[in-house]
């Protein structure tokens, strides 16, 4: 397991604060009781949770150019036909993945292709599992033209706790399946928009993992 570069500064600051608080308690508290020990235990657990949030687990990535692979870890919360107005500009299928605070928050490209569209949109911070959060929350959209000419859109959506969306996509670059797309801090959602004729491979409430779980077949 590795730690994502987006988390190294936060982990350092968190660890420093925990150390300083514990050190101050050791110097100032003459007689420790159960409350003091529980407080310190809580600080240590909090530090481990922050570190775990930025983890990148070792995985054997899927390598299948005929499938869209999940761009995120989490739970499938939406599968529906919608009109995507910004890039695809047509009716398409939307599959949404909700990432809880305990999920791995690295986002990856679901397929090979060329990035044609990148757009950051400011918005609210509603609960990411709320259906309207896809259109109302702060988000980043990445449009990709597949090698067969068809197009998909990946939308990184902020949630209640997610206050920073990191997206590494650049218009014009060629990307590979499972290459890192970005990172979202502290609970969020990723929407995947695809052509109507792509057979969906998941159901509502399915658990998926980035770079491993197939979402749909590319046709």
Catalytic residues: 188
- d(CA 5, CA 90) in angstroms, rounded, equals 37
Measured from the Cβ of residue 165, the count of other Cβ atoms closer than 10 Å reads 19
Dihedral pair phi/psi, residue 215, rounded to 5°: -105, -40
Beta bridge partners of 184: 165
Cβ pair 78, 94 in contact under 8 A: yes
Residues 6+ apart with CB under 8 A from 75: 97, 98, 100, 205, 206, 207, 208
Cβ pair 77, 98 in contact under 8 A: yes
Cβ pair 68, 110 in contact under 8 A: yes
Whose CA is closest to 212, among 60, 53, 56, 3? 60
- d(CA 129, CA 190) in angstroms, rounded, equals 10
149 phi-psi bin (left φ>0, alpha ψ -120 to 50, beta other): left
């Amino acid at each position: 397991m590795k730690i994502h570069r987006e988390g190294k500064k936060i982990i350092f600051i968190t660890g420093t604060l925990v150390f300083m608080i514990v050190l101050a308690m050791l110097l100032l508290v003459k007689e420790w009781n159960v409350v003091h020990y529980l407080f310190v235990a809580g600080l240590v657990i909090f530090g481990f949770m922050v570190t775990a949030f930025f983890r990148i687990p070792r995985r054997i990535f899927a390598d299948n150019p005929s499938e869209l692979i999940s761009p995120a870890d989490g739970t499938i919360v939406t599968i529906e036909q919608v009109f995507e107005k910004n890039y695809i500009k047509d009716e398409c299928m939307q599959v949404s993945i909700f990432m809880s605070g305990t999920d791995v928050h690295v986002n990856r490209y679901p397929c090979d292709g060329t990035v044609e569209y990148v757009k950051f949109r400011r918005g609210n911070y509603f609960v990411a599992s709320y259906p309207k959060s896809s259109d109302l929350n702060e988000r980043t959209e990445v449009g990709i033209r597949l090698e067969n000419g068809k197009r998909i859109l990946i939308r990184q959506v902020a949630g209640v706790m997610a206050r920073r969306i990191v997206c590494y996509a650049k218009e014009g670059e060629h990307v590979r399946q499972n290459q890192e797309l970005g990172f979202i801090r502290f609970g969020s959602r990723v929407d995947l928009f695809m052509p109507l004729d792509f057979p969906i491979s998941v159901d509502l409430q399915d658990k998926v993992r980035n770079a491993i779980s197939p979402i749909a077949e590319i046709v």
